[in-house]
Amino acid sequence: MASHYVVRHVDRAAPDTVAVLRDAGVATVHEAAGRTGLLGPAIQARQSGTVIAGSAITVSCPPGDNLMIHAAVEVCRAGDVLVVTTTSPSTDGMFGDLLATSLRARGVLGLVIDAGVRDIATLRKMGFPVWSRAVHAQGTVKASPGSVNVPVVADGQIIRPGDIVVADDDGVLAVPATSGAEVAAAAATRLAAETGKRAKLAAGTLGVDLYQLRPLLAALGVQYVDRLPS
């Protein structure tokens, strides 16, 4: 039996759910999801001010080999986010502007890769967003098998095909498609509450009063004094 697969079918989340999560952003969605799903900080945005959300197309590659990224392009659809991992740590530049051009033709929104990218200036000029572990000119080969649309681990977080990936300047988050609607509703509630809090803070209300933190400070033994005791 084969041990490497290209899985063609992915169950994708509803577009309106994805849109709510995109508009909420990584930090709010992380809180709404019970502080779950966040990738580690090693995978960073390589551009500024961009937020995307879409269904994950996952790729597992041997390090230094981008053959399976090319194989994955065929199964991508408009609105997807490509998520690439390697079977052992790698910072090689496995992705550049040519692959980005191919993905853009399929309507892919961006790339999350637990390895390196290169041609970063061109990628920025193209407006193709990437989140990566490294930027490194080291090239790769196309020689070894891997898999497309299998569960992968990116910087400590399991990502399954079809998971909703949200990525912005704060990092990258994965939400299971099956809980996407629930998390989106919780995120919308948080956003509404934050709007009210923001207005009160802008009007001069202190956080210790808005969040009723004075009793907690007192219970923890924090004392207010005009000067430290001599």
Length of the chain: 230
- CA dist., res. 26 & res. 28, Å (int): 6
Q: Is residue 175 part of a domain?
A: yes
Q: Is residue 29 part of a domain?
A: yes
Q: How many domains does the chain have?
A: 1
Q: Is residue 85 part of a domain?
A: yes
Would you say 201 is a known binding-site residue? no
Q: Is residue 6 part of a domain?
A: no
Per-residue exposure over 85-104, b if at least 16 CB sit within 10 Å of its own CB, e if not: bbeeebbbbbbbbebbeebe
Q: Tens digits of per-residue pLDDT, 172-205?
A: 999 999 999 999 999 999 999 999 999 999 999 9
Task: Please report the pLDDT score of residue 2 as a whole number.
Answer: 64
CB atoms closer than 10 angstroms to residue 48: 9
Task: Please report the pLDDT score of residue 86 as a whole number.
Answer: 98
Q: Tens digits of per-residue pLDDT, 4-60?
A: 999 999 999 999 999 999 999 999 999 999 999 999 999 999 999 999 999 999 999
Q: Is residue 10 part of a domain?
A: no
CATH number, domain with residue 24: 3.50.30.40
> Has residue 147 got a pLDDT over 90?
yes
User: What is the span of the domain harbouring residue 149?
Assistant: 15-185
CB atoms closer than 10 angstroms to residue 2: 6
Would you say 191 is a known binding-site residue? no
- When pLDDT is averaged across residues 144-171 and rounded to a whole number, the result is 98
Would you say 173 is a known binding-site residue? no
pTM: 0.94
- CA dist., res. 229 & res. 203, Å (int): 34
- CA dist., res. 70 & res. 226, Å (int): 66
Q: Is residue 77 part of a domain?
A: yes
Cβ proximity of 152 and 83 under 8 Å:
yes
Cβ proximity of 153 and 39 under 8 Å:
no
Q: Tens digits of per-residue pLDDT, 58-72?
A: 999 999 999 999 999
Q: Is residue 168 part of a domain?
A: yes
Q: Is residue 66 part of a domain?
A: yes
Would you say 160 is a known binding-site residue? no
Would you say 80 is a known binding-site residue? no
